[in-house]
């Protein structure tokens, strides 16, 4: 199953998201993964939950049947993310409260989500992908 990846930052999100939405009808499932930025000195995310969840998420998505599109949306560094007015915290479509957050995007709306405390749980990832 091909996993189609695209990446966006806060500043590039709108244009990347429009392309992602335009491609949506071609995919079995469309997901958005909100992640913390990587620390340039370590190449690891500053968020321990992201470090834990990312490899599990990729493993489960690669095992899924059908085309899966994953938009990785990087929230910024820790101070940027902590700001109460972070664009994705206040965006009525997403209302992100923690990272990582994995959302299923379907019919131009969030149809399911895994919050930071559960985004690494394999059976929950599988259920989100299958729409259950």
Rounded to two decimals, the pTM is: 0.95
pLDDT of 46 over the 70 cut: yes
pLDDT of 40 over the 60 cut: yes
Pairwise CA distance, residues 66 & 88, whole Å: 29
Q: Which CATH class is domain 3-130?
A: alpha beta
Pairwise CA distance, residues 101 & 128, whole Å: 12
- The whole-angstrom distance between residue 67's C-alpha and the CA centroid of its chain comes to 16
Position 131 scores a pLDDT of: 85
- The ranges assigned to domains in the chain are 3-130
Q: Give catalytic residues, as residue numbers.
A: 47, 50
């Amino acid at each position: 199953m091909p996993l189609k990846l695209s990446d966006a930052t806060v500043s590039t999100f709108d244009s990347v998201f429009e392309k992602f939405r335009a491609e949506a009808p071609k995919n079995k499932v469309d997901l958005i993964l909100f992640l913390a930025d990587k620390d340039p000195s370590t190449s690891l995310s500053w968020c321990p939950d992201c470090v834990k969840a990312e490899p599990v998420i990729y493993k489960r998505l690669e095992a899924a049947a059908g085309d899966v599109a994953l938009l990785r949306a990087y929230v910024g560094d820790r101070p940027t993310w902590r700001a109460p007015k972070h664009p994705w915290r206040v965006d009525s479509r997403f209302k992100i409260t923690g990272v990582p957050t994995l959302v299923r995007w379907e019919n131009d709306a969030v149809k399911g989500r895994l919050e930071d405390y559960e985004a690494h749980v394999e059976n929950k990832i599988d259920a989100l992908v299958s729409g259950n």
